[in-house]
Structure 1
């Protein structure tokens, strides 16, 4: 056919998943894996590092918090740049920076240098995660998007968990410096493959009216037979604002943006409160340190499985309802924890179920957000949701110790812990109203015309 006009999203939605799309998924999975490894690595080396430098927990606190603040800054800053410069450029820059700076961390001489480096690494990590989500989502058919994005996000949990095994193997033989060296070298080895194999988003290129030959090259690897004469379009809303962030508050997106922020904030608040303070809470209740740690670890295991299952269901049911149900069930499971005795096996089951629902819902929200925003400002929408949500994580880490200091009973503590989960459920349900107001003409049919 000559002079074809192809709507990129609709064409991808009507194609079977190809090996090239699985390759993109694998590369994004590896980025997220190394992201998770680097985020968690400081927690694993902290005991050895503090002993080596003679630091107290209070003195080491700024090093731990600097990375979390950086994650929020990076997420907020990266989206608008990715919507102007491209997903691949920002993503590769972020991976390059956090890889190199992880190596530099191994040579830090004091906690002040390390805190500054962790802040910069956090900014790079915060820029990487939303752009992997955005780039991958723009190459996936809508029918499988939620499941495959949640599979990508399991890389974060696996990377975080791998840091523990890496530290346990390296520190006794080579010291804590070696863990930072390895966590920097591994993503550096991945970089050449990312430059060579990872494509720019075809939908982004079409929205920016890039040369048709560039778009055709990517889509032809997915079974297309296009040429430089093909006309590629994206049939999505165009919002007239100079700044990408301003587009998030256009009439059709304002309510949805605010509800996504509130949902993500509350979800991370619960998760970081639970992961950060549940071991202490259980230890204060009489459990051994080993038992408290193992029970809390079930939250992460449940979350990994929950993410995949929630994503699978989202592709078959209303995503808002699925995510809201998962948050509500997670809140209910947390409330029930207060009714179990600490030596009961039901406590472990409850923590596993809470992690399944809460982390499943949170990862599901990561898969949902890219489909809510159009290509023109999708990276901004996703990254700002993640950035605002990071403040929930920071807030949760800070208030946990304060709340525990009040000496409240376990049922009351679990009640307080469950309330944000119900708020998250209500907020994402409110998003349904905003979603119904939008129309996406490219979602339902393939537009290919020949003249």
Structure 2
């Protein structure tokens, strides 16, 4: 615990635990804002982060299982594309449906449902007997994954004060590409020896352990307060406060800020398409689609392309696929440390334009050998990963508090749409035109992303959210 967090003053145990009848929404928020990072908050992050890690792992696990599945079940390029895309279609439905449900039954309620659905469908994938059955199971599993990340992000952020939230959010987001990289490591070592089912077993075991832990976590106090359940919210906050005091810590006096209510709040999601927010909404949707259509189209297909098109041994194909994921993680970390200095709009425009270079290079060279692809496709993926990695952050900056959750949720639904279209597009182009034309198609999509960014995106670097979004 830092002395800075406690420098504003000290309160005792009796003062920290306010009675429910005397507790207002503003007071609860003020008490949360002055809270240091406690052991319980760290536990919440670990439990939710572990699930997010294996959600990411599962997204990519199919890519490393697919080379064996394609040979075992005699799958065509179109079949492979549909199986890979099924999960993303499920994620699209999950992001839209469960995002709305989380506002009604709570963040924790949805997170309990999604982890159970995830575990059941991961187990079901072990018993898939055909391309169609795998497609169905992956779709249903995708529903759970689609809800997990946006709801988990909201849940965690609602516990953390504003001064700590930004850094935490970016570091939390790094969990996802690390999980994808871990899928590459597992695929490299397990699939050649134990077969494709090993990928799903590895993802299943830790997820089962996580299930009971979710029942031990508290509901978001901010959500409880927003629903008028102030007594329950007070108990959650008091428990966090008492943990600090039991460990000999001190807490600053809560600073209560009165926030003026906006009369436009009743407009709900319709406000996303009015005034200044209309352009922002369509802009962020375009960025989600362009970035994820390329990156998930690339990373989920590359191992299969290495094996089926170039005849590489499966272990080599998986190693190349892992290399791409690893560079994506490194690029994510660079982005997390640098984007506040460069700015969102500038970073995205430059990244989209830079990604065009290796994609066009592959088209010109003809993508005639795997080394060309592992170098150029990895470069394009890593560059674009800096965009896809940080779009949750940028989305939340484009909307006021009254629209932030629904605006970010609908935006993330479009990333699922882009993720679903990407693998199908690759399968269609490879099957009908040849591998080199995949990369020129992706280069054109990157160009669209660059043009949209330069023409319509706004810069949010260093600006107060209330000034950006009245």
- TM normalised by structure 1 equals 0.77
Q: Name the CA distance, whole Å, in 1 between partners of 2:319 and 2:393.
A: 29
Correspondence for 1:303: 328
Deviation at 1:178, TM superposition (A): 5.3
Deviation at 1:114, TM superposition (A): 3.6
Deviation at 1:239, TM superposition (A): 4.0
Correspondence for 1:96: 116
Q: Please, which of 394, 410, 414 is the counterpart of residue 384 of structure 1?
A: 410
1:158 aligns with 2:150: no
1:272 aligns with 2:296: yes
Q: Name the CA distance, whole Å, in 2 between partners of 1:323 and 1:37.
A: 26
Q: Is the 8 A contact 2:283 2:452 kept in 1?
A: yes
Correspondence for 1:211: 230
Q: Is the 8 A contact 1:134 1:378 kept in 2?
A: no
Which structure 2 residue ranges, 5 or more long, are not aligned?
A: 1-14
Deviation at 1:386, TM superposition (A): 1.6
Q: Name the CA distance, whole Å, in 2 between partners of 1:424 and 1:51.
A: 36
Correspondence for 1:393: 419
SS at match of 1:248: helix
Q: Name the CA distance, whole Å, in 1 between partners of 2:350 and 2:423.
A: 25
**Alpha-carbon distance change, 74 to 215 in structure 1, aligned in 2, over 3 angstroms:** same
Measured against aligned partners, the alpha-carbon deviations of 1:308-363 in whole angstroms (never above 9, x if no partner) come to 22123344554344344433433445445667898899986655543332101111
**Alpha-carbon distance change, 402 to 27 in structure 1, aligned in 2, over 3 angstroms:** same
Q: Name the CA distance, whole Å, in 2 between partners of 1:285 and 1:112.
A: 23
Correspondence for 2:280: 256
SS at match of 2:458: helix
Q: Name the CA distance, whole Å, in 2 between partners of 1:134 and 1:212.
A: 21
- CA RMSD across the alignment: 4.4
Q: Name the CA distance, whole Å, in 2 between partners of 1:267 and 1:145.
A: 25
Deviation at 1:105, TM superposition (A): 3.2
Deviation at 1:296, TM superposition (A): 5.2
Correspondence for 1:115: 135
Q: Name the CA distance, whole Å, in 2 between partners of 1:348 and 1:168.
A: 15
Q: Please, which of 446, 452, 455 is the counterpart of residue 421 of structure 1?
A: 446
Which structure 1 residue ranges, 5 or more long, are not aligned?
A: 444-451
Q: Name the CA distance, whole Å, in 1 between partners of 2:177 and 2:27.
A: 35
Deviates more, 1:412-421 or 1:267-276: 412-421
Deviation at 1:89, TM superposition (A): 1.3
Q: Is the 8 A contact 1:7 1:233 kept in 2?
A: no
1:130 aligns with 2:150: yes
Correspondence for 2:159: 139
Q: Please, which of 44, 48, 53 is the counterpart of residue 24 of structure 1?
A: 44
**Alpha-carbon distance change, 393 to 213 in structure 1, aligned in 2, over 3 angstroms:** closer
Q: Name the CA distance, whole Å, in 1 between partners of 2:193 and 2:306.
A: 32
Correspondence for 2:12: none
Q: Is the 8 A contact 1:72 1:388 kept in 2?
A: yes
Q: Name the CA distance, whole Å, in 2 between partners of 1:234 and 1:156.
A: 34
Q: Is the 8 A contact 2:56 2:179 kept in 1?
A: yes
**Alpha-carbon distance change, 125 to 235 in structure 1, aligned in 2, over 3 angstroms:** farther
Q: Please, which of 187, 192, 196 is the counterpart of residue 212 of structure 2?
A: 192
- TM normalised by structure 2 equals 0.75
Q: Name the CA distance, whole Å, in 1 between partners of 2:452 and 2:36.
A: 34
